[in-house]
Amino acid sequence: MHESPMIAQDHQPKVVLNPRTIAESKVLREVFATLVHAATCAKDVGCDPWEYATEMETLLGVGLKPSDLRWLVNMGYVSNAIEVTRPQDTARRFQPCYNLSFNRRTCFVLTEAGMSLGAEGISQPPDFLSEGENSGQSHVASPHRSVPSWDPDRRVLRVDGRVVKRYKVPSPNQEAIIAAFAEEGWPTAIDDPLPPHPEQDSKRRLRKTLQSLNANQTQQLLRFRGDGTGERILWERIEDDSPQAVLKFGDRGCIA
C-alpha cells in the first residue's frame, strides 16, 4: 500500500522568493524546473505527487547545497520524506520526516506555494547578469544568501562579520560604489554611480576603480566587475565560485 508522508503542504512562507530571482539564478531555475517537471508528470498520469518525488542527490547535483534545501523546507516551498520502498512494493513508500536531517534516501516534492512560485519563475526568460548580459534592471540577491555590509562612519566593508576592506584614508570613487550597492540592498548589479568628469574617460575610470576595489582586500571575499558595457557594476562572492565540497555521508547515512 502506498504510504504518502503526512506533511503539511499548505503553509505559506514567511519570506518569499520572487519569480524573477528564480529566473535569473541558474541553480534555482534548474532546481525548480526539476521539481515542477516531476509534479507535472505526476499530475499528467493522475498519481500521488510522491510517486515522482525527487531524490536529494539529483538536487545537489545541479549545485544546490544542503543548507539551501533546508531553507526551502523551512520556508514551505518543498516537503521532504525518507523513501522506504521495498522491491515487492507496488508503489513508492515514504516515512514522514519532521526534522532537517537528510540522508541518501531523502526525497522532495513541491508544496502548493513552491509549485506556484516555481512554475512562474521558470516560465520567465533568464537574464544571467553574472555572464555579462545587461537587462537594465537591478536584482536583489535571494533572501537566504548573505550580502556585504558597509559601515560608512568607520568606512569598513564586511561580509559575514569578516572585514574585506577598511579605508584609513578617503577613497571617494570606491566608497561611492560601495555606498550605492548598500543603499539599494546589494542587488546583483547597479548603474555606475560615479558622476561624469570632463577630464576623465568614464569607462576607464570605472575600470581602474573596480581594480582598486578588488585589490588589497583584508580577506579576499568579494569581486567587483563591469558587465562589458562600461556602465554597470556587478559584485559576487569569491567563495561562491569555489568548487563545492564533496559531501561525506556518516554511518547513519546523514550528511556529515
Domain count, the chain: 2
Cα dihedral 132, 135, 136, 137 in deg (nearest 10): -100
* Backbone region of residue 53 per phi and psi (left: phi > 0; alpha: psi in -120 to 50; beta: other values): beta
C-alpha cell at 137: 534592471
Q: Which of 82, 98, 123 is the last residue before a domain boundary? A: 123
In a domain, residue 101? The reply is yes
Cα–Cα distance for residue pair 80/5, rounded to 1 Å: 9
Q: In the prediction, which pLDDT does 238 show?
A: 80
Residue 69: enclosing H or E segment and its boundaries? Answer: helix 66-74
- The one-character DSSP state at 114 is H
In a domain, residue 165? The reply is yes
Cα–Cα distance for residue pair 15/250, rounded to 1 Å: 32
Asked if 114 and 148 sit in the same domain, the reply is: no
Asked if 58 and 109 sit in the same domain, the reply is: yes
Asked if 70 and 98 sit in the same domain, the reply is: yes
In a domain, residue 157? The reply is yes
Q: In the prediction, which pLDDT does 214 show?
A: 92
Q: In the prediction, which pLDDT does 145 show?
A: 54
Cα dihedral 157, 162, 168, 174 in deg (nearest 10): -30
In a domain, residue 104? The reply is yes
Length of the chain in terms of residues written: 256
Strands 106-110 and 149-151: unpaired
In a domain, residue 77? The reply is yes
Cα–Cα distance for residue pair 51/141, rounded to 1 Å: 33
Asked if 104 and 172 sit in the same domain, the reply is: no
Asked if 144 and 194 sit in the same domain, the reply is: yes
In a domain, residue 190? The reply is yes
Q: In the prediction, which pLDDT does 110 show?
A: 96
Q: In the prediction, which pLDDT does 80 show?
A: 96
Q: Which of 79, 95, 123 is the last residue before a domain boundary? A: 123
Q: Helix (H, G, I), strand (E, B), or coil: what is residue 109?
A: strand
Q: What CATH number does the domain containing 109 carry?
A: 1.10.10
Asked if 83 and 144 sit in the same domain, the reply is: no
Residue 55: enclosing H or E segment and its boundaries? Answer: strand 54-55
In a domain, residue 117? The reply is yes
Q: In the prediction, which pLDDT does 16 show?
A: 56
Asked if 159 and 221 sit in the same domain, the reply is: yes
Asked if 116 and 26 sit in the same domain, the reply is: yes
Asked if 114 and 182 sit in the same domain, the reply is: no
Asked if 91 and 51 count as a contact pair (C-beta separation under 8 A), the reply is yes
- 126 burial via Cβ count (<10 Å: 0-12, 13-18, 19+): middle
Asked if 118 and 140 sit in the same domain, the reply is: no
Q: Which of 92, 102, 110, 96 is nearest to 56 (CA)?
A: 102
Cα–Cα distance for residue pair 255/249, rounded to 1 Å: 5
Q: In the prediction, which pLDDT does 230 show?
A: 81
The tens-digit pLDDT sequence of the chain (256 residues) is: 445 554 444 444 444 578 878 877 888 888 999 999 999 999 999 999 999 999 998 998 888 888 889 999 998 999 999 999 999 999 999 999 989 999 989 999 999 999 998 888 888 776 544 343 344 343 444 444 568 899 999 999 998 888 999 999 999 999 999 999 998 888 888 999 998 888 888 899 999 999 999 999 999 899 999 888 888 899 988 864 333 322 332 333 333 2
C-alpha cell at 214: 578588488
| Sequence-ordered list of residues with C-beta below 8 angstroms from that of 64, at least 6 positions apart, any chain | 27, 31
In a domain, residue 141? The reply is yes
Asked if 159 and 117 sit in the same domain, the reply is: no
Asked if 144 and 186 sit in the same domain, the reply is: yes
Identify the domain containing residue 70 by its residue range. 19-123
